[in-house]
Chains A and B, each alone.
Chain A
Amino acid sequence: MADPIAIAARRPVLAPHASGAARAALSAAGPAARLSLRAKPDAVGALSAALGLDLPTAPKHAARNGARHALWLGPDEWLVIDEDEADLMAALSSAGALHSAVDVSHRNAGILVTGAEAATVINSGCPLDLSLTAFPVGACARTVLSKSEVVVYRTAEDAFRVECWRSFAPYVLAVLAEAAAEA
């Protein structure tokens, strides 16, 4: 007969938050400048020149130039992230094209999910197909993670950046940590 104590193995309540298992690890992304950018198709060229990267116009695509990323969220909507905290508003102020840019640097929090099981960890609460064929490196999408809306961005085959709203961040981190502890 199996030892009931062995079956009901207990983990310390804080263990998930301290885990850094090799198969999936979580870390908080550093501070970054972020923009919610809306524009019609005829302004994309001018805005791309002002930002120094080509704003993607195809679904699920992102563009990158150094520390600056532009993530396609919708047909006229992008999330621009600059990990060097460059002044994105100043860069766009001279674009000369009609657009709406809102600084959301402090509205979002970024969580980095890395490791061989990173996709599994995100898929524990997210229905998106994260296989490399459907979601290759550089792909991004706004979707849901458990009960929170997130933006998932694949930065490498085994690395994702999960952007969520600031007040949701502890919840999203806890959901991911729960899955990472079992990955």
Chain B
Amino acid sequence: MLLIHCPYCGEARAELEFRAAGDAHIDRPANIAAISDEEFAEYFFLRDNPKGLIYERWRHIHGCGRFFNAVRDTVSDKFVMTYKAGQPKPDLSPAPGAAPALPADSRPVETYEATEGRAE
């Protein structure tokens, strides 16, 4: 079972107490009535689904009840960090030429493609 650090409770609690709530930092357009259907669909439905770091909203629903944001690696499922809702998006992108900013123990796990090659 994963342990997830709740920034409001100040400690790591079991994954059972949490619920995922989709991507974080999705800004609602200010001119929501003026934008086209395509632009609305882009804002409302379409998400990036990245392989690697993703910024998500999580809710400590069976604990303090609060929403917060988390940075998670979609390959290893490791929670890199969590922070309170409303705080700015942390910049975890590596500097040009530098190694990834992740801690050494959070490298993505080996994937099938890396070890076995692509399925033909």
B contact residues around A141 at 8 Å (CB): 9, 63
| Contact across chains for B17 and A74 when beta carbons are under 8 A apart | no
CA distance A142 to B60 in the complex (A): 10
Return the CB mask of A56-80 against B: 1 if under 8 Å, else 0: 0001100000000000011101000
Give chain B nearest CB distance to A162 CB in angstroms: 14
Question: Of all chain A residues, which has the CB nearest B11?
Answer: A59
Judged by a CB distance under 8 angstroms, whether A52 is at the interface is: no
Q: Separation in Å of the A136 CB from the closest CB of chain B?
A: 13
Contact partners of A128 in chain B: CB under 8 A: 13-14
CB-CB contacts of A119-145 with B at 8 A, as 1s and 0s? 000000001100000100000011110
Inter-chain CA distance A149–B11, complex, in Å, is 19
Q: Is the CB of B1 within 8 A of A127?
A: yes
From residue A150, how far is it (CB to closest CB) to chain B in Å? 9
Chain B interface size band reads: 10 to 19
Minimum CB–CB distance for B62 against chain A, Å: 5
| A59 partner residues in chain B, CB cutoff 8 A | 8-11, 64
B64 — which chain A residues lie within 8 A by C-beta? 59, 73-75, 77, 142
A75-B64, A75-B66 given as contacts; is B9 within 8 A of A60 (CB)? yes
Shortest Cβ distance from residue B30 to the other chain A in the assembled complex, whole angstroms: 27
How many chain A residues touch B (CB < 8 A): the figure is 14
B89 CB, min distance to chain A CBs, angstroms: 22
| A71, B16: Cα distance in complex, Å | 21
Question: Does B65 lie at the interface of the complex (its beta carbon under 8 Å from any beta carbon of A)?
Answer: yes
Specify which chain B residues have a CB less than 8 angstroms from the CB of A75 in the assembled complex: 8, 64, 66
Q: Pick the contact of A144 from B8, B9, B17 — CB < 8 Å?
A: B17
Q: Are A143 and B17 in contact (CB under 8 A)?
A: yes
Chain A residues near B66 (CB-CB < 8 A): 74-75
Give the residue name and chain of the B residue nearest to A141 (CB). B63
Mark interface residues in B5-41 (1 if CB within 8 Å of A CB, else 0): 0001111011011000000000000000000000000
Q: Mark B52-70, 1 if CB is under 8 A from A, else 0.
A: 0000000000111110000
Residues of the A chain whose Cβ atoms lie less than 8 Å from the Cβ of B1: 127
Residues of A within 8 A of B11 (CB): 59-60, 134
B residues near A, CB below 8 A?
1, 8-11, 13-14, 16-17, 62-66
Q: Pick the 9 closest A-B CB pairs, nearest first.
A: A127-B14, A74-B64, A59-B9, A74-B65, A144-B62, A149-B62, A144-B16, A59-B10, A75-B8
